[in-house]
Structure 1
Amino acid sequence: MKRADVAEQYKWDLSDLFETDANWEAEFISVKADAEQFRVYKGRLLESAEVLHEAIQAKEKLTRKMTNLVTYARLRHDEDTRDPIYQGMAARVESLMAEIGEMMSFFNPEILGAPYSEVEAFLAYPPLSIYRKAFEDLFRNKPHTLSEEIESILAQTEEMGSVPSNVYGMLLNADMTFEDAIDSEGKVHKLTNGSYISLMMSKDRVLREDAFNKYYKTYETHINTIATLMQSEVKKNIFYSRMRKHTSAREAALFQNNVPTSVPDQLIQAVNDNLETFYKYMKLRKRVLGVTDLHLYDVYTPIVSNVEFPVTFEEAKGMVTEAIAPLGKSYQNTIKSAFSSRWIDVFETEGKRSGAYSWGTYDSKPYVLLNHKENVDSMFTLAHELGHSMHSYLTRGTQPYVYGNYSIFVAEVASTTNEALLNDYLMKTLTDENKKKYILNHYLEQFRGTIFRQTMFAEFERDIHAHVENGGALTADYLCNHYLDLNRKYFGPDVVVDDAIKYEWARIPHMYYNFYVYQYATGFSAAIALADKMLTEGQPAVDRYLEFLSSGSSDYPINILRKAGADMETDAPVKGALNVFKKVVDELDQML
């Protein structure tokens, strides 16, 4: 489908950011001038509380403008990654961002050059008082903040540091093409990064196998290039961690959110300790599908047979809106506004970025990119991304700019809570028993895809960074073989782990997000706990949850989640989620 063929109501409205490309160009020029003027504060930040506040205001103004420029360029680029105009805008604004980062690089070292007591005294000046937590966090980073000269150099390397992920993104979304998949009747199916999972969910096993093999054959063709990009990404992470005197790349990534490394470690351990339950689910899948050998191209297709459950986008809108009713009328009405005010870019079109996300700025709508298919999975994706968007909307509507974003550690909680509420709504309202079984199967698939799969990714990411930190090289053979071994461990004895799966790591863009993936699993676990509390305790739990959504970065993420009712410094939420998985496996086993 071409973008021109999509009705306007199904395209996002980016006018909150810029009315036209010409407005963007004018702001681009303005920001460059503002950045030059920011230099006047160099050497003066601690002159007085008034000067410090003035400098912070100027920095925030510049950062907000910069963020709007970056976001608009990237959203336009993602509409059609082949478009040279938006490729150019995205590249130019990345260069500008690196340039401005270098101009502002004096800010933190200059403040950290003074004792905290001096800065703390300035906080008695009322306009500065809201920055107390920000300054406390800045001084927490003091051992990892370098001299002004080195900070300036590091800022100038950021553009180069984004090369691996940028090249990977262009390869994945713009340049990589796949041979069409053929079903059991000889019918041709378009195979893309966007359509692959839909084909894996097909009832037609011939189609699934053909799509699986052709999909990974294409990745095999590019595997040496992608392995080189992956090694460059890992080395970049290690370089920055060592420059900033962290013990490892993982410790550096988690330090930013004040999350101890014990959190992902206990996640991986808890999941590894409970793989037998996952093996039981695979055994159930093998029995119900009636196959002699269960292959990896059989693990996505629903195991509840003879159930047609298509869901149009309009139907998905209605069900998601009803499902989040426990969160209150205000939350529900904002979701309705998301549809009418065109927060969402709905359908897959030629050249469009694959996958789904929620993205925006402090000054804009929280935009949602989808590639909607008429199935249950896409309905849950809609609920998921709107959870992100509502988290952003409530945070920005409550917090000042300095705390107007939230850490990646809590980012997946709101999205997954929406999915849990949708699952509960469907189980309570569906009258067709087969559809209920289908939803139970889908729920198990959420566990498989989020707790087990993302933990496997996290283990892979941990291992490949440690391998390089210990002097190893990330060759294509090493990456593929290690990933294949992890699949064998996680899927267990009742699954034929097809050799082609060793290329799967190469299709996962989150591998370029610097230790992001484990947070899908911890976030899912927290969401299961919080959704259960809201459905059983009612309004008190809802109030705590809405406070969580409105907290932004006003406190550390571990503390914010603990207040909401999920203590992630213990393994209780993860173990609780794994117990729910076990119960649902047993329930579906009995029903089938």
Structure 2
Amino acid sequence: MSDNRAHIDEKYQWDLRTVFPTDQAWKEEFADLSQAVAEAKDLSGLLDKSAQKLLEVTESYLALSRRLEKLYVYASMKNDQDTTVSYYQELESKAVNLYAKYGEAFAFFEPEVLALGEEKFQEFTQSEEKLKGYHHFFEQIFSQKDHVLSQIEEELLANAREILGSASETFEILDNADIRFPIITDNKGKEVEITHGNFITLLESSDRDLRKKVYEAYYSLYEQFQHTYAKTLQTTVKSHNFSAKTRHYTSARQAAMAGNHIPERVYDILVTAVHRHLPLLHRYIKLRQEILGLSDLKMYDVYAPLSHKDLSFNYEQALTKAQEVLAVYGRDYSERVKRAFNERWIDVHVNKGKRSGAYSGGSYDTNAFMLLNWQDTLDNLYTLVHETGHSMHSTFTRENQPYVYADYGIFLAEIASTTNENIMTETLLKEAADDKERFALLNHYLDSFKGTVFRQTHFAEFEQQIHEADANGEVLTSQYLNNLYADLNETYYGLSKEDNPEIQYEWARIPHFYYNYYVYQYATGFAAASYLAPKISHGSQADKEAYLHYLKAGSSDYPLEVIAKAGLDMTKSDYLDSAFAVFEERLQELEDLVAKGVHLNG
């Protein structure tokens, strides 16, 4: 059982007093902001009156959004640090509700901007110099002119947002609150209740009987409730397709990617490149089988440890190693990493009620905080450098961009975090004390690549096919979803669906299928990082400066243009081929170590 938060040393807790000094200060800001949001409706109808009015309304729109972000960050992070405290649950709920009211108040904004027109906007920028700073912001709105509806229609869709998202919420409640997984007996005779949190950990057991028992018990629940899960997923897909059609897009994928101005060919190039390199994954799966000494590798074996080398780092050691490795970026980056590590940006340890997992958060006017649930493992070292990558991206962006351009999408975000991971891998491989340590590190990298590039593309392909099927009138029954998923899984892993019957239900447990074309960006991000990391480690000073320029750019340009300035063209498959070349090189190295017998006896 984890400790109560009160027992954790303050230096290991994030300092949210830098956001609001007290809860009372938060309440006062909430009251002021609620009044300001209520009054914002009065700004409707003023945009086209003059250049000055356009500027005033735009600045009010952004200023209120900026204050809302800070308000939400405090409440949500207070809640995340201990979700058993109802007081902060209430504050977060209030912040979310105020966001909804803000959306309603400014439902007029985009329709009025579009009614103004690009020609009139250009006239206004000639008479009001400050409007030029918002050029790209308005350019993005005008680029969506065929997809923004009338004010009345926008208000209707805003009001229907909760209804359209209800299937997703039902999935969350069913999967996280109502489902109770079986209790199994482990290899020591101890009873263990299976949960989402320990499922993968249990599959990482070296006891194959336990892995099989856990796997079959876990998926038995999804088999039991497959029809309910099919209905929540089908309804969500219908919601995506409905929204896309309502906004005059040709598909849900086009609608989702248009938000980031990512052409659909980026998605198709990813899937094509991954399929071309599936023999590498099959080769790794075969090597796994050899190392584990199995005649019939099953899906419940794909997480099993190949190495028993204990590579552990306590938190202080991890901080030192992270600072040492990330120093490759230069002084500016290192100074900000030290601030993050020394000025209580990080909530480190597990405590009772704390949100699981890890993330980087914050807003324009706060530190780029990080939440961890620290364990002394190699994985946690990677988590630290991953989240630090996000936080440095946010910090550089916020320092160098005005609020209007101080955000960035997941498409760019995952590059900053996984580039750090790739640099860490190269460093640790270089410093490996012996073949067994090198074996463990290569295994970690190959599993990360498998789980991010191959697996997330598998998810992306499934997501695309179910949206297309629904659009074409196919009913997404559990049988349809089971068959499709099983076929794709067999294609990706090369393991027959007949020998792995439980895998057909895996789609039912994946929350990302409710996120609307989100998962492909994990794969593109990791592959892009594999391409960029060597440029940071071995390239010129110009390469490093180009990368830092990307970190500073935020949303001041479209994502593909931003990352192109770091020397990466993601409309071509070169970066993917480069990533697969690294995978193959490290796979070959692991195969060579296996040939030497390094894997034997740990």
Instruction: Return the TM-score normalized by structure 1.
Output: 0.94
Whole-angstrom CA distance in 1 between matches of 2:579 and 2:104: 44
2:147 corresponds to: 144
CA contact (8 A) 2:497 2:503 kept: no
Task: Please say if 1:272 is aligned against 2:275.
Answer: yes
Report 1:405-484 matches (<5 A): 405-484=407-486
Runs (5+) with no aligned partner, structure 1:
none
Task: Please say if 1:363 is aligned against 2:365.
Answer: yes
Counterparts in 2 of 1:369 and 1:268: CA distance versus 1, 3 Å: same
Whole-angstrom CA distance in 1 between matches of 2:204 and 2:493: 18
Structure 1 residues 127-160: Cα deviation after superposition (integer angstroms, max 9, x where no partner): 2111011111111011111111111111222233
Shift of 1:82: 5.2
Task: Please say if 1:335 is aligned against 2:337.
Answer: yes
Report 1:292-441 matches (<5 A): 292-304=295-307, 306-441=308-443
CA contact (8 A) 2:487 2:497 kept: no
Counterparts in 2 of 1:495 and 1:239: CA distance versus 1, 3 Å: closer
2:92 corresponds to: 90
Report 1:49-88 matches (<5 A): 49-81=51-83, 83-88=85-90
Counterparts in 2 of 1:441 and 1:489: CA distance versus 1, 3 Å: same
Whole-angstrom CA distance in 1 between matches of 2:91 and 2:323: 36
Paired AA for residue 37 in structure 1: E
Shift of 1:579: 1.8
Structure 1 residues 76-132: Cα deviation after superposition (integer angstroms, max 9, x where no partner): 333344554444443343333222211101111112112311101222322211101
CA contact (8 A) 2:405 2:556 kept: yes
Paired AA for residue 386 in structure 2: H
Report 1:254-273 matches (<5 A): 254-273=257-276
1:128 corresponds to: 131
Counterparts in 2 of 1:443 and 1:355: CA distance versus 1, 3 Å: same
Report 1:176-325 matches (<5 A): 176-189=179-192, 191-304=194-307, 306-325=308-327
Paired AA for residue 153 in structure 2: I
CA contact (8 A) 1:82 1:174 kept: no
Per the alignment, in what secondary structure is the counterpart of residue 361 of structure 2? strand
Counterparts in 2 of 1:494 and 1:244: CA distance versus 1, 3 Å: closer
Report 1:148-167 matches (<5 A): 148-167=151-170
Shift of 1:220: 4.1
Whole-angstrom CA distance in 2 between matches of 1:151 and 1:494: 48
Paired AA for residue 283 in structure 2: K
Shift of 1:313: 2.7
Task: Please say if 1:488 is aligned against 2:469.
Answer: no
Instruction: Return the TM-score normalized by structure 2.
Output: 0.92
Q: Could you tell me the percent identity over the aligned residues?
A: 41
Counterparts in 2 of 1:453 and 1:437: CA distance versus 1, 3 Å: same
CA contact (8 A) 2:147 2:249 kept: yes
2:42 corresponds to: 40
Counterparts in 2 of 1:532 and 1:295: CA distance versus 1, 3 Å: same
Whole-angstrom CA distance in 2 between matches of 1:166 and 1:290: 43
1:576 corresponds to: 578
Shift of 1:48: 1.7
Paired AA for residue 413 in structure 2: A
Paired AA for residue 346 in structure 1: V
Structure 1 residues 512-558: Cα deviation after superposition (integer angstroms, max 9, x where no partner): 22111101111111111111112221321111101000100011111
CA contact (8 A) 1:173 1:351 kept: no
Whole-angstrom CA distance in 1 between matches of 2:79 and 2:180: 19
Counterparts in 2 of 1:172 and 1:89: CA distance versus 1, 3 Å: farther
Whole-angstrom CA distance in 2 between matches of 1:473 and 1:79: 42
Whole-angstrom CA distance in 2 between matches of 1:475 and 1:364: 46
1:563 corresponds to: 565
Shift of 1:167: 4.0
CA contact (8 A) 1:99 1:156 kept: no
CA contact (8 A) 1:296 1:496 kept: no
CA contact (8 A) 1:481 1:502 kept: yes
Residue 104 of structure 1: which of 103, 106, 113 is its match?
Answer: 106
Paired AA for residue 195 in structure 1: N
Whole-angstrom CA distance in 1 between matches of 2:499 and 2:361: 36
Shift of 1:559: 0.9
Whole-angstrom CA distance in 1 between matches of 2:75 and 2:227: 30
Paired AA for residue 97 in structure 1: Y
Shift of 1:185: 2.6
Shift of 1:363: 1.4
Whole-angstrom CA distance in 2 between matches of 1:219 and 1:353: 24
Structure 1 residues 547-576: Cα deviation after superposition (integer angstroms, max 9, x where no partner): 000100011111111110110000111121
CA contact (8 A) 2:71 2:95 kept: yes
Counterparts in 2 of 1:311 and 1:547: CA distance versus 1, 3 Å: same
CA contact (8 A) 1:282 1:494 kept: no
Structure 1 residues 460-494: Cα deviation after superposition (integer angstroms, max 9, x where no partner): 11111112111223333332332222111111048
Paired AA for residue 303 in structure 2: Y
Paired AA for residue 105 in structure 1: A
Structure 1 residues 235-278: Cα deviation after superposition (integer angstroms, max 9, x where no partner): 22112111110001100011111111111111111111211111
CA contact (8 A) 2:416 2:551 kept: yes
Per the alignment, in what secondary structure is the counterpart of residue 152 of structure 1? helix
Whole-angstrom CA distance in 2 between matches of 1:334 and 1:497: 51
Counterparts in 2 of 1:316 and 1:261: CA distance versus 1, 3 Å: same
Further displaced range: 139-148 or 468-477: 468-477
Paired AA for residue 512 in structure 2: H
CA contact (8 A) 1:295 1:495 kept: no
2:598 corresponds to: none
Shift of 1:417: 0.1
Further displaced range: 557-566 or 216-225: 216-225
Residue 517 of structure 2: which of 511, 515, 518 is its match?
Answer: 515
Shift of 1:288: 0.8
CA contact (8 A) 2:282 2:494 kept: yes
Per the alignment, in what secondary structure is the counterpart of residue 564 of structure 1? coil
Structure 1 residues 43-89: Cα deviation after superposition (integer angstroms, max 9, x where no partner): 11122222211111111111112222333333333334455444444
Number of aligned residue pairs: 591
Shift of 1:338: 1.7
Per the alignment, in what secondary structure is the counterpart of residue 150 of structure 1? helix
2:600 corresponds to: none
Counterparts in 2 of 1:387 and 1:180: CA distance versus 1, 3 Å: farther
Provide the aligned C-alpha RMSD in A.
Answer: 2.2
Per the alignment, in what secondary structure is the counterpart of residue 123 of structure 1? helix
Runs (5+) with no aligned partner, structure 2:
595-602
